Amino acid sequence: GAGVSQSPRYKVAKRGQDVALRCDPISGHVSLFWYQQALGQGPEFLTYFQNEAQLDKSGLPSDRFFAERPEGSVSTLKIQRTQQEDSAVYLCASSLNQANSPLHFGNGTRLTVT
C-alpha cells in the first residue's frame, strides 16, 4: 500500500474485554513501532520490532499488553482485560532500518474503554 494502514479506526470496549489492533506497515519497511497517545499528550513509545523480532518492549505499561509481528510484516497489538486508563489513540509507524529514515505513521486506532 501507499502508507501505513491501521484498523479499526475506532474501537469501543467494555472494561475487561480483550482487544486487538492491527497495523499494516509500508511494504519493505523493516522497523515497526507502536505508540500510545493519551488525550492532549504526545505519543509515548510502547514497543519496537525489527522484522519479526521484538527488540524493545520497554514501553508496554503492563503484562496485559502484548504485541506480535510473526511474519515481519503485519503487526497486532493486543490488550487483555482492558481498563479505562487504556483509553487512548494507538499509533503505528514503520521505517527502513536506518537511523536517518523517517518514521511513517498510520492514522491510529482510537480505543475507548467504558
Partner 1 sequence: AQTVTQSQPEMSVQEAETVTLSCTYDTSESDYYLFWYKQPPSRQMILVIRQEAYKQQNATENRFSVNFQKAAKSFSLKISDSQLGDAAMYFCAYRSNSGGGADGLTFGKGTHLIIQP
Q: Which residues bind to partner 1, rule: CB under 8 A?
A: 30-31, 33, 35, 40-45, 48, 50, 55-56, 89, 91, 93, 95-103, 105-108, 110
Distance in Å, CB of 27 to partner 1, minimum: 17
List the end-to-end C-alpha distance of the chain, in Å, as a whole number.
33
Grid coordinates given for 105 = 505513521
- How far is residue 93 CA from its own chain's centroid? 8
**Distance (Å, rounded) from C-alpha 52 to C-alpha 69?**
5
Distance in Å, CB of 7 to partner 1, minimum: 13
The residue (of 41 and 114) whose beta carbon lies closer to partner 1 is 41
Q: Angle 111-67-64 (CA atoms, 0-180°, nearest 5)?
A: 65
The residue (of 27 and 100) whose beta carbon lies closer to partner 1 is 100
The residue (of 37 and 73) whose beta carbon lies closer to partner 1 is 37
